[in-house]
Amino acid sequence: MLSIWDTGYRRRVGTFPISGVGKVTAASFSPDGRSLAIASYPLGVVIVEAATWQVRARFPAFTRDPSLLWSAPRDWDALTWSPDCRLLAIAGPDGGLSVWDVTKLGEPVATDGPALEKAWVTLASNDARIGFVALRTILTSEDTGVALLKSKLAAVPAVDAKRLAALLTDLTSEDFPTREAAMTELKKLGRLAAPVMRVYMKAPKSPEGAQRVGELLRLVDGAILGPDDRRVVRTVEAVVWIGTPEAEKLLKVWAGGADGALLTTKARAALERRKK
């Protein structure tokens, strides 16, 4: 069993069974943190999606395939991603090197209207392979896919600051129903309330307030991605890989959304990586 740990929070965030994969010789996260490549012998390489900790693509690194751009070693002890996460290079002790275009892994995909609409639905799938096919459908469609995503997904509106402040105040109310109502509402807001709650924790008004806000933040930080969250993560990944001017504009629109929202956070991170 391969375990993945968040060193900031010192907690395990995912596990991946390696039985049947073969002898693991190398592992590497993509720069955007969305994929984990695991090299093994003799079965090749698997790409694990961080959103689900499932295999999104599996391939032997020595077969001929359209996504294989250059030769291949027969054993692998090192691998690395390109900065844009599109290419994966796999090196072996014999001096061999293979370079793969990850975005082209899998069977060819349809890009007509019905296929795009289906892709929008299956972007939310809990099956990493199905989600990857949907992602590749959007990616292959380029600006047509961007237009679809623009019509489906708007920037997240900000939560009223006064409302958030009132809810934080209510967390320490002497009235029990008021406290419980505030906790319930802040749980529903989740990530949207997280930035304000983190500021609160720097100078909490009371020990009780710190305890309750800390509990809420632990729920946010430990939350498992739901269907809508998986769609957001894969959607941003597809738009980043498309990389056209229209795709860039859409990322900037999403990045202007509410602080703390998953769409906002992922879009901002993608734009920030492009500056490097």
Q: What pLDDT score does 189 carry?
A: 94
Instruction: Kindly state the average pLDDT of the residues 1-18.
Output: 70
Q: How far apart are CA 254 and CA 110, in angstroms?
A: 27
* Domain that residue 77 falls in: 2-104
Which pLDDT value is given to residue 63?
52
User: Residue 23 pLDDT > 90, yes or no?
Assistant: no
Please tell me the predicted confidence (pLDDT) of residue 42.
65
Tell me whether residue 253 is in a domain. yes
Note whether 90 and 164 are same-domain residues: no
Q: Is residue 99 located within the same domain as residue 25?
A: yes
Average the pLDDT over 121-126 and give the result. Answer: 97
pLDDT at 68: 54
Q: Is the preceding peptide bond at 195 cis, omega within 30 degrees of 0?
A: no
For residues 63 and 165, state if they share a domain.
Answer: no
Which pLDDT belongs to residue 18? 63
Q: Are residues 162 and 254 in the same domain?
A: yes
Dist. CA 37–CA 99, nearest whole Å: 13
Using the predicted structure, report yes or no on whether residue 223 has a pLDDT greater than 90: no
| Whether residue 205 is found in the same domain as residue 274 | yes
Domain count, the chain: 2
Q: What is the mean pLDDT of the chain?
A: 87
Average pLDDT over residues 214-219: 92
| Residue 128 pLDDT greater than 80, yes or no | yes
Each residue of 34-80: pLDDT tens digit?
999 988 776 678 899 999 989 998 875 555 555 555 544 456 788 99
Confidence tier at 91 by pLDDT (50, 70, 90): confident
Give the end of a domain, one of 104, 119, 141.
Answer: 104
* Cβ–Cβ < 8 Å for 235, 129: no
Residue 133 lies in a domain: no
Per-residue confidence band for 152, with pLDDT thresholds at 50, 70 and 90: very high
Task: Identify whether residues 98 and 26 lie together within a single domain.
Answer: yes
Cα separation of 54 and 18, whole Å? Answer: 11
Among 81, 104, 127, where does a domain finish? 104
pLDDT at 90: 86
Residue 153 has pLDDT above 80, yes or no: yes
The answer as to whether 58 is a domain residue is: yes
Residue 165 domain-assigned (yes or no): yes
Per-residue confidence (pLDDT) for residue 134, from 0 to 100 = 97
Tell me if 144 is assigned to some domain: no
Q: Is residue 58 within 8 Å of residue 88, measured between CB atoms? A: no
Sign of the torsion angle spanned by Cα atoms 16, 21, 22, 24? negative
pTM for the whole structure? 0.84
Between 94 and 178, residue with greater pLDDT? 178
Smallest CA-to-CA distance from 116 within 145, 153, 152 is with: 145
Is residue 236, in this structure, part of any structural domain at all?
yes
Edge-to-edge order in the sheet of strand 78-81: 78-81, 87-91, 97-101
Report if residue 208 sits inside a domain: yes
Same domain, 163 and 92: no
Specify the CATH number for the domain of residue 84: 2.120.10.30
Q: Of 104, 134, 166, which residue is a domain's last?
A: 104
Q: Are residues 259 and 161 in the same domain?
A: yes
* Residue 12 pLDDT greater than 90, yes or no: no
Question: Is residue 130 included in any domain, yes or no?
Answer: no
